[in-house]
Structure 1
């Protein structure tokens, strides 16, 4: 049952844990795109611009979504685009496995923060790989993978 005592946990989940899961996801796209020579731009959040740090743009509602745009791949192959689109979810999966390993080994405690991090990571993986287009017509990672396999080209931005 949700009570007033749970408000603090709620705020931590949505204003700290969820943005961290988003950052892990976007770092997956960024790392793999950079490995293949892409120039990238990415954002955390939505709404009005808050701050720029290099290629990162942080928006006012930093806790709601993220995106990564890449261009000028040195290795412009279909499988590279597929790997870039998959890499966000792969990073989330690696984070889940790493956290579970650290808990299992007793390095970190069983804690609500880690539970929420894993929960939101599973959520991210599912909805990133589920093929759909959002209200603006932008594809999920899963839809982008299908598009690049079908049509041989990728759409920007990813996520």
Structure 2
């Protein structure tokens, strides 16, 4: 049952944990795109821009969504695009496995933060790889993977 005692947990989940999961996801796209020689721009949040840190844009509603845009791949193949689109979810999965291993080893305590982090990461993986287009016509990572395999070209930005 949700009580007033749970309000702090709610705020921490949505204003700290979820943005951290988003950053991990986008970092996966950024790292792999950079490996393939791309120029990167990425953001967390939506709405008006608060500030930039290098290629990272942080927007006012930083706790809602994220995106990564890349151009000028040095190694521009269908499979390089597939790996870039897949890498956000792979990073989320790697962090889930690492976090669970560290909890199992006693390095991290069993704590609601880690539970929520894993929960939101699984949510991100599922909805990133589920093929669909949002209301603006932008593809999910799964849809982008399907499109690049079927049509041989990528569509930017990636989520």
TM-score, normalised via structure 2 length: 1.00
Q: CA deviation at 1:144?
A: 0.1
Q: Distance in 2 between matches of 1:24 and 1:57?
A: 15
**2:85 corresponds to which residue?**
85
Q: CA deviation at 1:49?
A: 1.0
**2:70 corresponds to which residue?**
70
Contiguous gaps of at least 5 residues in structure 1: none
**1:157 corresponds to which residue?**
157
Q: Distance in 2 between matches of 1:39 and 1:147?
A: 21
Q: Which segments of structure 1 move beyond 4 Å, counting only runs of 4 or more? A: none
Q: Distance in 1 between matches of 2:10 and 2:147?
A: 37
Cα shift readout 1:96-141 (whole Å, capped 9, x = no counterpart) = 0000000000001000000000000000000000000000000000
**1:105 corresponds to which residue?**
105
Contiguous gaps of at least 5 residues in structure 2: none
Secondary structure at 1:124's aligned position in 2? helix
Aligned positions, number: 159
Q: Distance in 2 between matches of 1:81 and 1:108?
A: 35
Q: Distance in 2 between matches of 1:51 and 1:34?
A: 22
Secondary structure at 1:58's aligned position in 2? strand
**1:45 corresponds to which residue?**
45
Q: Distance in 2 between matches of 1:48 and 1:74?
A: 32
**2:55 corresponds to which residue?**
55
Q: Distance in 2 between matches of 1:54 and 1:23?
A: 14
Secondary structure at 1:136's aligned position in 2? coil
Cα shift readout 1:47-69 (whole Å, capped 9, x = no counterpart) = 11111111111000000000000
Cα shift readout 1:2-54 (whole Å, capped 9, x = no counterpart) = 00000000000000000000000000000000000000000000011111111
**2:119 corresponds to which residue?**
119
**2:137 corresponds to which residue?**
137
TM-score, normalised via structure 1 length: 1.00
